[in-house]
Amino acid sequence: MSSRTPFLSKDHPKYKWVALSNTTLGMLMATINGSIVLISLPAIFKGIHLDPLQPGNVSYLLWMLMGYMLVTAVLVVTFGRLGDMYGRVRIYNLGFVVFTVGSIALSLDPFTAGPGAMWLIAWRVVQGVGGAMLFANSTAILTDAFPVHRRGMALGINQVAAIAGSFIGLLVGGLLAVVDWRAVFIVSVPIGIVGTIWSYRSLHETSQRRAAHPDWPGNITFALGLTAVLTGITYGIQPYGGSATGWLNPWVLGAIIGGLVLLTVFVRIEYLSPAPMLNMRLFRIRAFSMGNLAALLSSIGQGGLQFMLIIWLQGIWLPRHGYSYEVTPLWAGIYMVPITIGFLIAGPVSGTLSDRFGARGFATTGLIVVAATFVALLILPVNFTYWQFALITLLSGIGTGMFGAPNRSAIMNSVPAGDRGAASGVTGTVQNAGSSLSIGVFFSLMIIGLAGSLPSALRVGLTAHGVPTAIANQIAQLPPVGSLFAAFLGYNPIQSLLGPTGVLSKLPASDAAALTGKEFFPQLISGPFHQGLIVVFGVAALMSLVGALASFRRGGKYVHDDTAPEPAELDEPATSRSGSTLAS
């Protein structure tokens, strides 16, 4: 190589480290932007002059939360397969470009109110397209670049970036939201520009492309089916008729059932297609199928943990400890740092060790640790002592790190080289679909928990401060989703609830100040919130244990032998290079 050549060739022994550092940057950027908006929503809505708690604006709130994750979840398998066909590096590099363009447009939102929210939602969707390209191919690029005995370490670092990025985004979002809401989006622009130039100059195609025509029937049915299911589940949060949730809404049921029908059609199409978007026979490999099942359950639980901790800190614990609502996003991000530290400790170490000992022991133990921390959080008082919270969340991060890195490495090691792009897409779909599902599943569970005790708490609290009984009863009967979103956003909703009634102006100044202050609502919701936590974290612990069982069922260490005939490898038990046997 010429001394004037600034970057390494694909055959250079150090090229794999270039691939690792670039793809880790891409994963960090994609996952940070998946969560950075969550904690910055109060500043964003204030910046575009929109009250997210008004009934007509709830859809803006939901799509701001789920748009990025849904689009990413839907498209990663497609872009993974396109990477197998047209070049993984080509699709990955294009992802950096699309993501950067979306970030620039988001920071330049020229509108306010509803149009401003629609601008942000539309360009978050564009960001999601770029994120899907990055998600879909980063793992496959690493698997191509690293030898078998070093993949666990490389994928461990990459996976730690993917998981830790979701919590780093909370910290970064909290910091930037205090400065300016546009900074939440501007921060990605220089990173995206550097990543784009770096990836185009340094990454090389190292895999053999698999020539085929795009599977349009498969792509379309998969995209429509998964979109319908995830959208239906998310809209199940909103009340319908006299119910606190919308699970009986015909539109919600129709979307979920119709989506499942389309996904069933997709499976049939893929089995019959000569060049399927996703080779369904990959799921006959136990390490692949059980690893993805465990990853889905872990991702749902992890997403639920993220949302619940934001509500807990931003809406209850921080205001009760004297923090103003304006600074709760910043401090919520800071107080959740132990989770990230746990990831950074456990991920690379367990990934490296899994190269030698296999993934099953680390991944299974990790999910058992996560289940134990859900139980510990369930019994922790709402007004906890911080060191207890920090210790539990640190252990949760360690458990998730123990699971994530070895599990991703085992999944990628188990598939043929020509299917690594699609396999990487599946793992990306699992992670992002789990995050989207967690919104609908855990918010619904929390709403059900709140519905039993929040009305009486509101009634008693309001009347104790002079609010007439009739008005207190009227407010107490409102769907609890509004109070839940208020806690999630770090708002006190009492001002907007009582404002239209004119009651606040008639109350003694001390009562009006208490109702609209930073302590009344957090104290009022603490008891009902803990009742909801019992339901939410109980289900999350159960999911983690089922995931641990699936992880254990993956079998022993297995590495796909690319020298063996592919049909035999996929359809029958086969022996890996290391001598392990593929479980049927």
The sign of the torsion formed by the CA atoms of 413, 419, 421, 425 equals negative
Provide the greatest CA pair distance for the chain: 83
Mean of the per-residue pLDDT values of the chain: 80
* Domain range enclosing 290: 15-214+277-450+527-571
> Within this chain, do residues 62 and 206 fall inside the same structural domain, yes or no?
yes
> Between these two residues, 160 and 368, which has the higher pLDDT value?
368
**Is 239 within a domain?**
no
Domain edge (last residue) among 505, 526, 547: 526
Q: How many whole angstroms separate alpha carbon 238 and alpha carbon 222?
A: 26
| Confidence check: pLDDT of 377 > 90 | yes
Q: Is residue 193 part of a domain?
A: yes
**Are 439 and 514 in the same domain?**
no
Instruction: Specify which of 39-43, 94-98, 203-207, 325-329 reaches the highest per-range mean pLDDT.
Output: 94-98
What pLDDT score does 471 carry? 85
Q: Report pLDDT for 368.
A: 95
pLDDT of residue 6: 46
**Is residue 303 located within the same domain as residue 166?**
yes
Residue 555 within any structural domain of the chain: yes
Residue 255 lies in a domain: no
- CA separation for the pair 244, 252 (Å, rounded): 14
Domain boundary among 526, 546, 579: 526
Structure tokens at 226: 């998964």
pLDDT tens for 504-541 read 778 888 888 888 777 888 888 888 888 888 888 999 99
Residue 118 CB contacts under 8 Å (≥ 6 apart), including other chains: 60, 111
Q: Which long-range contacts (CB under 8 A, 24 or more apart) does 219-224 make?
A: 219/78, 219/277, 221/262, 221/263, 221/265, 221/266, 221/269, 222/74, 222/77, 222/78, 222/262, 222/263, 222/266, 222/277, 222/278, 223/74, 223/75, 223/78, 224/259, 224/262
> Does residue 208 carry a pLDDT above 70?
no
CATH number at residue 83: 1.20.1250.20
User: Under DSSP, is residue 184 helix (H, G, I), strand (E, B) or coil?
Assistant: helix
Same structural domain for residues 443 and 501? no
Going by pLDDT thresholds of 50, 70 and 90, the confidence category of residue 461 is confident
State the pLDDT confidence band at 118, using cuts at 50, 70 and 90.
very high
- Partners of residue 240 on adjacent β-strands: 243
Q: Does 514 lie in the same domain as 471?
A: yes
Domain co-membership, 375 together with 509: no
Q: Look at the chain and report how many structural domains it folds into.
A: 2
Q: Comparing 342 with 578, which gets the higher pLDDT?
A: 342
Taking only the tens place, the pLDDT of each residue in 422-439 is 777 777 778 778 877 888
Same domain, 33 and 167: yes
140 in a structural domain = yes
> Does any domain span residue 441?
yes
pLDDT at position 119: 93
| Residue that is last in its domain, among 526, 544, 563 | 526
Residues 129, 38, single domain; the answer is yes
* Residues 545 and 418 occupy one common structural domain: yes
Nearest Cα to 402, choosing from 361, 438, 452? 361
- Determine, yes or no, domain membership for 537: yes
Tokens of 395: 């252990």
- Give the pLDDT of residue 442: 84
pLDDT of 365 > 90? The answer is yes
- Confidence bin at 578 (pLDDT 50/70/90): very low
> Does any domain span residue 295?
yes
User: Which amino acid would we find at residue 64?
Assistant: M
Judgement on whether residues 499 and 363 belong to the same structural domain of the protein: no
Give the whole-angstrom CA distance, residue 279 versus residue 31.
Answer: 27
Shared domain for 543 and 432, answered yes or no, is yes
| Strands, E assignment, 130-238 | none
Same domain, 517 and 460: yes
